[in-house]
Structure 1
Amino acid sequence: MEFHPFIEKSSTQEIKRFQEDKLQKLLAYLEENSPFYTKLFRENNINIAEIQTLEDLQKIPTTTKNDLQQYNHDFFCITPDKIVDYSTTSGTLGDPVTFGLSDNDLERLAYNEAISFACAGIQKGDVVQMITTIDKRFMAGLAYFLGLRKMGASVVRMGPGIPELQWDSIFRYKPKYLITVPSFLLKMIDYAEKHGLDYKNSSVYGAVCIGESIKNQDFTDNILSQKIKEKWNIKLFSTYASTEMSTAFTECEFQIGGHHHPELIITEILDDEGNVVKEGESGELTITTLGVEAIPLLRFKTGDIVKAHYEPCQCGRNTMRLGPVIGRKQQMIKYKGTTLYPPAMNDILNDFNNILCYQIVIQANEIGLDEIIIKLSIEAENENFVNEVRDHFRAKLRVSPKIEVIDFDILSKTVFNPNSRKPITFIDLR
Structure 2
Amino acid sequence: MIWSENETLDREQMRAVQLERLQDTVKRVYEKVPFYRSALKEKGVEPGDIKTLEDIRLLPMTVKQDFRDNYPFGLFAVGKDELVRFHASSGTTGKPTVVGYTRNDLNTWAECVGRLVTMAGVTYKDVAQISFGYGLFTGALGLQQGLERVGASVIPMSSGNTKKQIMIMKDFGTTALISTPSYALHIAEVVREMGMDPKKDLSLKWGVFGGEGSTEAMRKELQDAWGIFATENYGMSELIGPGVSGECQALCGMHINEDHFIPEIIDPKTGQVLGEGEAGELVITTVTKEALPILRYRTKDITSLHYEKCACGRTTVRMSKIQGRSDDMMVLGGVNVFPSQIEEVLLNTPGIGPHYQIKVFKKGYLDKIEVVVELVDASVLDSYTQLEALTRDIKARLRTVLGIDSKITLVEPRTLERFEGKAKRVIDLR
Distance 1:270 1:392, change over 3 A: same
Higher mean C-alpha displacement, 88-97 vs 322-331: 88-97
TM-score normalised per structure 1: 0.88
The secondary structure found in structure 1 opposite 2:164 is helix
Give the superposition deviation at 1:409. Answer: 8.6
Q: Is the 8 A contact 1:331 1:428 kept in 2?
A: no
Distance 1:212 1:7, change over 3 A: same
Give the superposition deviation at 1:406. Answer: 7.5
Partner residue of 2:358 out of 357, 360, 378: 360
How far apart in 1 are the matches of 2:353 and 2:23? 52
Give the superposition deviation at 1:426. Answer: 2.1
Q: Which residue of 1 aligns with 2:254?
A: 258
Q: Which residue of 2 aligns with 1:273?
A: 270
1:76-113 per-residue CA deviation (whole Å, 9 max, x = no partner) reads 22223333322123558655312122222222211111
The secondary structure found in structure 2 opposite 1:331 is coil
Give the root-mean-square deviation of aligned CA atoms: 2.7
1:125-150 per-residue CA deviation (whole Å, 9 max, x = no partner) reads 32111111122x11111101111122
Q: Which residue of 1 aligns with 2:153?
A: 154
How far apart in 2 are the matches of 1:17 and 1:429? 50
1:248 paired to 2:231? no
Q: Which residue of 2 aligns with 1:322?
A: 319
1:264-318 per-residue CA deviation (whole Å, 9 max, x = no partner) reads 1111111132222122210110010122122211011110010112111122211
1:36 paired to 2:35? yes
Give the superposition deviation at 1:70. Answer: 2.2
Q: Which residue of 1 aligns with 2:426?
A: 426
The secondary structure found in structure 2 opposite 1:301 is strand
How far apart in 2 are the matches of 1:190 and 1:345? 22
Distance 1:178 1:132, change over 3 A: same
Q: Which residue of 2 aligns with 1:218?
A: none
1:374 paired to 2:374? no
How far apart in 2 are the matches of 1:396 and 1:259? 28
1:225 paired to 2:219? yes
How far apart in 2 are the matches of 1:389 and 1:96? 39
How far apart in 1 are the matches of 2:50 and 2:90? 33
Give the superposition deviation at 1:328. Answer: 0.3
Distance 1:98 1:410, change over 3 A: farther
How far apart in 2 are the matches of 1:24 and 1:148? 31
Gapped runs of 5+ residues in structure 2?
Answer: none
Q: Is the 8 A contact 1:35 1:77 kept in 2?
A: no
1:11 paired to 2:10? yes
Q: Which amino acid aligns with 2:233?
A: T
Q: Which amino acid aligns with 1:230?
A: D
Distance 1:125 1:402, change over 3 A: same
Count of matched residue pairs: 416
Gapped runs of 5+ residues in structure 1?
Answer: 216-221
Distance 1:278 1:108, change over 3 A: same
Q: Is the 8 A contact 1:333 1:340 kept in 2?
A: yes
Q: Which amino acid aligns with 1:141?
A: A
Q: Which residue of 2 aligns with 1:133?
A: 133
1:67 paired to 2:66? yes
Distance 1:399 1:90, change over 3 A: farther
Q: Is the 8 A contact 1:267 1:286 kept in 2?
A: yes
The secondary structure found in structure 1 opposite 2:26 is helix
TM-score normalised per structure 2: 0.88
How far apart in 2 are the matches of 1:98 and 1:8? 30
Q: Is the 8 A contact 1:8 1:15 kept in 2?
A: no
Q: Is the 8 A contact 2:129 2:156 kept in 1?
A: yes
Partner residue of 1:399 out of 398, 404, 412: 404
1:338 paired to 2:343? no
1:105 paired to 2:105? yes
Identity of aligned residues (%): 29
Give the superposition deviation at 1:258. Answer: 0.9
Q: Is the 8 A contact 2:191 2:198 kept in 1?
A: yes
Give the superposition deviation at 1:118. Answer: 1.4
1:177 paired to 2:180? no
